[in-house]
Amino acid sequence: MIMSKTARAEAVPSTNESDHDRATLEHGRLATIGALTAGLGHDLRNAIAPALLRLDTLADAPNLTEGTHRELRAIRSSIGEMQHIAAGLHLLAADPVGDAAVPCTTKLSNWWQDLLPLVHAAASPGTLLRADIPETLGLVSVPPQVLAQVVMGLVMNARELMQGNPSPRLLMSARKASNSVLLTLEHAGRTPSIDTTVQRVNARLVDSPIDSISGLGIAKMRELLRAHDADLVLSEYSSDGGRFELRLALCGDTIETNFHIAAARASIVEPFSVLCIDDNELLIDALESRLQLEAGFTKLHRAVPLTNSVAIVARARPTVVLLDYDLPDGIDALQVLERIVHESPATRVIVFTGFPNSQLVTDAMALGAHGFVSKGIESDRLIAAIHRVRNGEDVIELDA
């Protein structure tokens, strides 16, 4: 998340020493919020994954009434909303210019589902929020965290510009135009006067950064977008609001196909075992309960302690290893993967993480992983991925 701020009146330096102190304090406060946001998004997803596995295990129990199934679906839907919140927090906290900013990984309909709860929270109370983001749009070139942080900056501006409006409205839409997608944000609702509106728009979006609102200035927004063949245009503004248009380059269709492989549930009955290299005991317990419903499943092994994971794999000789990417105590999961592939070549490894990106997928598969699975997918897809990997396939299952 971009936290830097630029003084609005650089030509007239402040003589008040407390201004610098307040700016320093604000920098620290925003940095703390960013760090907490990143951790909260990660922890939420780790807590949600075992809950969903438990629900799906319960849903497979015999003799459940239709009413019970209906209640389970409702609970699962509610937990699914928490998943979107966790993913949205991750998008806002991620470094938009770091290694994770991998292009051609953003499917707008899925991205919007993750961002929507945060947009709701950021908008003024009573704001009418509407969106039209077709599922048929392909992948766009801007990484999801970059796009999320730009759009949230605009949403926070819209909130300020609409202060005092009796009927604030926020409209998001996306449409294909030639080899690009036009993503439009409109904020509407009468302001006290057109002069006030123009003054606010000029102050916040044209002449200076959006420093006091989002921490991400308009110049930085455009810099981030242009690094990925995109741009931001101030289309229009008036006493009725304003409209901003983001032009996003479309990626080739083959990329999306490579990163989402539909998983049919397997029906293989040969014996198999699974070993989990993960510090989330709740997740491991839930996975064990879920796997016990599968024909042929014999045992779930645990890597305890995690520092001895490679030796434990060599001793247990599991059919499949689920290797969490985000291991504690500075353990490098990719190094663990490389050693398992070298020392236990008969074992097939699935890298398992809450927040994947295409570069991580590429690196893991290049080092010998046989699968890459997001913790955000449905449990049936996870179980099907385990079956398919043990049957000799290479599988990539992300959140899409």
* 134-156 pLDDT per residue, tens: 988 888 989 888 898 888 888 88
Share of the chain above pLDDT 70, in %: 74
At residue 249, φ and ψ (nearest 5 deg) are: -70, 140
Q: What per-residue confidence (pLDDT) applies to 30?
A: 52
> What pLDDT, on a 0 to 100 scale, did the predictor assign at position 393?
92
Query: Could you tell me which residue, 206 or 112, shows the higher pLDDT?
Result: 112
Kindly tell me if the per-residue pLDDT of 206 is higher than 50.
no
Cβ-based burial of 298 (10 A; exposed 0-12, middle 13-18, buried ≥19): exposed
How does DSSP classify residue 275?
E
308 DSSP 8-state letter: G
Rg over alpha carbons for the chain, rounded to the nearest Å, is 24
For residue 117, the model assigns a pLDDT of 86
What's the rounded mean pLDDT across residues 334-352? 94
Asked if residue 268 has pLDDT above 80, the reply is no
**Across 12-16, 126-130, 160-164, 314-318, least confident range:** 12-16
In a 3-state reduction of DSSP, which class is residue 287? helix
**How does the average pLDDT of the chain come out, rounded?**
77
pLDDT value at 302 more than 90 = yes
DSSP code per residue over 316-359: H--SEEEEESS-STT--HHHHHHHHHHH-TTSEEEEEESS--HH
Per-residue pLDDT tens over the stretch 151-186: 888 888 777 777 777 788 889 999 998 889 999 988
Q: What is the mean pLDDT of residues 302-309?
A: 93
147-156, 206-215, 289-298, 322-331, range with the lowest pLDDT: 206-215
Taking the whole predicted model, whether its pTM rises above 0.85 is answered as no
Range list of H helices, the chain: 17-59, 66-93, 108-122, 144-161, 194-201, 218-226, 253-258, 281-291, 309-316, 333-343, 358-366, 379-390
pLDDT surpasses 50 at 7: no
Given a contact cutoff of 8 angstroms between Cβ atoms, the answer to whether 85 and 118 are in contact is yes
pLDDT at 265 over 70: no
Nearest to 205 by CA among 232, 184, 169: 232
Kindly tell me if the per-residue pLDDT of 316 is higher than 90.
yes
Of 2-6, 137-141, 370-374, the range with the lowest mean pLDDT is: 2-6
- Per-residue pLDDT of 18-77, as tens digits, reads 655 665 565 555 555 555 665 666 667 777 778 878 887 888 788 888 888 888 888 877
Residue 36: predicted pLDDT: 61
Count of CB atoms situated within 10 Å of the CB of 122: 16
Please tell me the predicted confidence (pLDDT) of residue 53: 82
What is the model's pLDDT at position 274? 96
98 pLDDT more than 70: no
Residues in CB range of 69: below 8 A, 6 or more apart: 59
Alpha-carbon distance of 215 to 220, in angstroms, equals 10
The residue-averaged pLDDT of 308-325 equals 94
Whether the predicted pLDDT of 131 surpasses 50? yes
